[in-house]
Amino acid sequence: MTLPNKISIFRLFLIPVIVAIWVFPFAQFGIDLPVYHIGNVSISLKNIIVMALFAIGSISDFLDGYLARKNNQVTTFGKFIDPIADKCLTTTLFILLASSQIIPAIPVIVMVWRDTIVDGTRMMAAGKGTVMAAGILGKIKTASQMFCIIFTLLNNYPFEAIGLPVSSILLWFSMIISVLGGIDYYNRAKAYIWETK
């Protein structure tokens, strides 16, 4: 197995670790996690740990693709596992944040719908022998989602100090770009979707 594929699998293994830390009932076990106060922003140790693990996963998303292209190690398995690991990581964090009522559920639902429809579209195109690579909008979406999650876990630090809601802006921006990217996928695949034969 190539190193890029190992990195993608590592990203998948990070997900249950992040979930376990997020949902673990520390208080019930008498564990009092510290909360750090930086100016007018309070950040718990749990958020910092989850943010650090998510940041590692996000960096690995860019690293595995870079290494695969640089070392000519692009594989069919890599094309399959990389976007799955990426979407599982970001979607899991969005669901955790929405279920904890830290972010609104609507943009998360829209982005999950978009990913489901796009994945179905790509499968349909693949069945016709066409591989639909991620476009520039998809790459922008992924980057904005990752920065959105990081700043949300940091309670919008450092932008909270100047009253700029960057985490919220990135959340809605991610939703809009996600929808636009979905429309782009549809336009590229509509010949396969509405094919009569």
Instruction: Tally the domains of the chain.
Output: 1
pLDDT higher than 60, residue 196: no
| Residue 1 confidence (pLDDT) | 80
End-to-end CA distance of the chain: 39
Tens of pLDDT, residue by residue over 101-153, are 999 999 999 999 998 888 777 777 766 666 666 678 888 998 999 999 999 99
In this prediction, residue 128 carries a pLDDT of: 64
Q: Which amino acid is at 1?
A: M
Confidence label for 187 from pLDDT (cuts 50, 70 and 90):
confident
Residue 127's pLDDT is what? 67
Domain that includes residue 144, residue range: 3-193
Which is higher by pLDDT, 97 or 189? 97
Which H or E run includes 37?
A: strand 35-38
Per-residue model confidence (pLDDT) at position 103: 98
Q: How confident is the model at residue 74 (pLDDT cuts 50, 70, 90)?
A: confident
Could you tell me which residues come within 8 angstroms of residue 7 by beta carbon, excluding any fewer than 6 positions away? 60, 63, 64, 67
**In which element (H, E) is residue 41 found?**
strand 41-44
Average pLDDT, the chain: 88
Neighbour count for residue 43 (Cβ, 10 Å): 17
Q: Is the pLDDT of residue 67 over 60?
A: yes
pLDDT computed for residue 56 by the predictor: 96
Residue 120: the pLDDT is 78
| CATH number of the domain where residue 85 is located | 1.20.120.1760
